[in-house]
Structure 1
């Protein structure tokens, strides 16, 4: 069963994904880079060879346009249309219709800010301050990803195990196999009730903030870390609990790591109770949190 859409997985971390790039987009960016190099490296030998092999370009198009072109160069020519570079144009007849007059007025507005100079013309990649093409800027523009709330971004922190960070990301977008999520996807389950308390429906919000077993774990964590009591009414509240726990930035990052590890241990204890006849008790979860937190703290000290 696929829990997260591939388009969401391949989004950048800043825009709520895992930062796994699409191979198709990477290929298009590399092809577009060759198109850019053909335009800018006018005196290079490889450009002359390509021009000799594929013939001269048409007047309105500055690429060799041999109709029988095949292979890599044909793909590069196709990618050229995605680089955002406009083709030069000129009038072939007088303007007659009102529609054409309106289009000319619109074009005049667009070109109003342009200025000419005595220097030689050159190509400039407007997506980079340097004016030089880069595959990263091409991929960013081609992916067209809308910004998201920072809370939906995968949490950072080099000393936090990657499995915990990815798990928290999946929980936040409700993409873990809770009993309620399985039932919504027409998967047969013995019961939709929580594996710990067995009273209410096992949803993301209940499992990590409403279950009495997990609430007892949050109370213990507050006492153990010597911070203000941690309260949450939804999983989003869990994600934000560290912000009010301390005024010190470093302390908040550590508490955030403890919360991430605790959520991972809660989920692990839940699975052990269902599939391995585990107890699923508060003491079992606390013991797992202590052991994993000790490992995390040890790694942090070494770093």
Structure 2
């Protein structure tokens, strides 16, 4: 196996979205979470036991991120990137000892600083005879639940919807009002009008196309909007149960989220994908 960090996207999930079966589905879910600024890798944390199932560099087990992300220069020097914690740390009566297999020694100032910081971090790690465990970081009892991830995603979507409703999003027009220089005030989607919340979510031709598609998908008589606030009041004028109206409200909030994320992707990454 080629362990070069340049030839492979290292991840704690052993698969790709194109893979058939459960690992491919998990990768797709992980990418879906990324659309909501949620890194699935950082929600699953290893609790060290004997260190035989937690990968030293790739898995999150100490600190707030995997060691490969915290110490990228050392990770590039490591020749065995898939090794487990037990392959790197040995506990003795005098403390812990560490063993690494470098392609070349970390001799530059930057790399020696990283090495010192890493040793200070992992020096507290102690192996035991019990097996390693995994905990879910969104739940107080550290066990996975659909409810916990649903709450996190809902909170992020609703927070953005709340900011949009109050016109507190950092649109190009609002940035200019704060005397922040922007290359252009025009909408990144259509390029025909100043980017304000009402334009990007309502009057822009891209937004109108999205709302028409949502209307057809939900079999609504039509979504007629005159401003951002109309988006969130739409369920009030629909016929149906309160549960149905809550579902529509969630869809509308999620659509606002997707439009904003797509807008950011267009501006910062020069990509447009709805």
Query: Which TM bucket (shorter chain)?
Result: 0.3 to 0.5
TM-score normalised by structure 1 residue count = 0.40
Task: Name the larger-Rg structure.
Answer: 1
Hey, which of these two has a bigger chunk of strand by percent? 2
